[in-house]
Amino acid sequence: MAAPPHVVVIGAGLSGLAAAARLRGRGCAVTVVEAADTPGGLVRTETLDGHRFDTGATILTMPELIVDPLTELGLTPAEVLDRLALRPVDPGYVMNYADGSALALPHDAAGIPDAVAEAFGPRAARGTGDLLRWLRQVYDAEFDVFIDRNYGGLRDLTGRQTRRAATELVKLHTLGGLTGAVARFVDDERVQRAFTFQALYAGVPPHRARAIYAIIADMDIGRGLSAPVGGMGRVGAVMADALVDADTAIAYGSRATAIVHDGGRVTGVVVDGDTLPADAVIATAERDTVAALVGRRPRRKLRYSPSALVVHGLLPVGVTDDWSAGHHTLDFGAAWSQTFAELTGRPGAPMSDGSFLLTRSAVSDPATFVADGLESVSVLAPTPNLDSAPLDWDAIAEPYAAEVLATLSARGYRGLDRLQVLRIDHPKSWQRSGLPAGTPFSAAHTATQTGPLRTRNTWPGLDNLFLAGSATVPGVGIPPVLVSGGLAADRVTARLAEALATAGSLPRSAR
């Protein structure tokens, strides 16, 4: 029997792990190369001065997208979920507003209208129930056709399936603005914020975002949030362990320095001076990083999402007891449109009346995030990226962090201004880690960088190089990134179909 085709995956973030799992399950030999010492990419849990923190993504939803690729390795869904050890985050969010009101959104969406009624009255609650049903309709019309799908060309964009889904989305009024679409159901501006702030995940102000981005609120609020025991880093560890159990090679501390190609085809990847031969390559880095590996310069300049300053520190247990807060707490300033103008403007500026995300993972997992009488607390303040505001964050990060903590302490999070700060991540540190424009949120989902117009997951001129991750389709966030790995794997499978047919699928006993 001929040797199975060999695929090299550059990057052990969630997209790379998902792609590797699908390809290994389909009979490919797979090698994953990762510059860091651990899997997960920007979904990670780190130890700072002996204390655990989720230092990357903290919002986990749609765990079935983690389950699906691992079932291709022969695991059952129950086995994957058992390894993930997920707990529901309930409430998913606590939202505090400048007028002193608060809204705690339960994990189960069925309870959200009652929570809104208690906070804002029956009129807002009735509209919220209708809004939740509309969000699910948007998801149902959009996900399979416009997100979890590879496009091959114009025929796909104009085919029957696409036309049917587009017609449904038009009926759902998703071609207009997101804020206006939500306002059709609820006129309370506080509830509108709860269901539109997610547009910032896509790098677009809610008042400028199209209503198609309502799908993010359904993924987020409508489906409930979860937290893995031990922190977010468990997700990457579970996926990587399953791959190792399936005889997949993962080389940590190994940096790809070049993608070798000849005559329109990739032939290998240079890693630490040695060349790994490859029948196909999936690269999960940012687009310009991949271009450098290939030795080409992209023609198109990308526009990037806003960045963030994140403060990680410790508070004595008990300080947070009288806070209006949960695992995830959003504290909104009075400003809204102005805030987004500052974050995304050119030039941009730090928020003058900020909205912030506080993360207290100990609410869901005290055994991991409380140690020696101290609780791990993280505070995220959105900032402009370095393209829109090239500020000297090495100089201003510490005083700005102190200002943010003092502001929140005055808003009711008493004691936060005395946070024992262990680390501050900011646009300059993100940039030094290789992220363009100093943002961990990749290319913004502007009109020309969304859907089929986003950087494709195929590489022009190299027919066996593919992309996965937040820089390519479908986009930013844990669910889209996991989907991107599957889409890239499907591209490889299609390209190597003849070789796979010759090699045959590996028996499960060999996986």
Q: Residue 33: CB partners within 8 Å, gap ≥ 6?
A: 8, 9, 10, 11, 12, 251, 254, 255, 256, 269, 271, 276
Determine the straight-line distance between the first and last CA of the chain, rounded to whole angstroms. Answer: 17
List Cα–Cα distances, 298 to 295, 302, 386, 431, in angstroms.
Answer: 10, 10, 20, 19
Q: What does pLDDT average to over the chain?
A: 95
Please, which pLDDT band fits residue 510 given cuts at 50, 70 and 90? very low
pLDDT of residue 496: 92
Give the pLDDT mean for 205-234: 96
- Give the CA count within 13 Å in the CB-facing half-sphere of 126: 2
Question: What does the pLDDT look like over 77-95, one tens digit per residue?
Answer: 999 999 999 999 999 999 9
Please, which pLDDT band fits residue 498 given cuts at 50, 70 and 90? low
pLDDT of residue 146: 93
In the chain, % of residues over pLDDT 70? 97
Report the candidate in 287, 291, 284, 302 with the shortest Cα–Cα distance to residue 481. 284
pLDDT of residue 509: 30
Give the pLDDT mean for 463-481: 97
Please, which pLDDT band fits residue 1 given cuts at 50, 70 and 90? low
Q: What is the CA radius of gyration of the chain?
A: 23
pLDDT of residue 501: 57
Please, which pLDDT band fits residue 511 given cuts at 50, 70 and 90? very low
Question: What does the pLDDT look like over 374-426, one tens digit per residue?
Answer: 999 999 999 999 999 999 999 999 999 999 999 999 999 999 999 999 999 99
Q: Residue 311: CB partners within 8 Å, gap ≥ 6?
A: 378, 379, 381, 401, 404, 405, 419, 421, 423, 424
Q: How far is the C-alpha of 395 from the C-alpha of 414, rounded, in Å? A: 27
Give the pLDDT mean for 107-133: 97
91: preceding bond cis by omega (within 30 degrees): yes
Is pLDDT larger for residue 154 or for residue 491?
Answer: 491
pLDDT at 494 over 70: yes
pLDDT of residue 487: 98
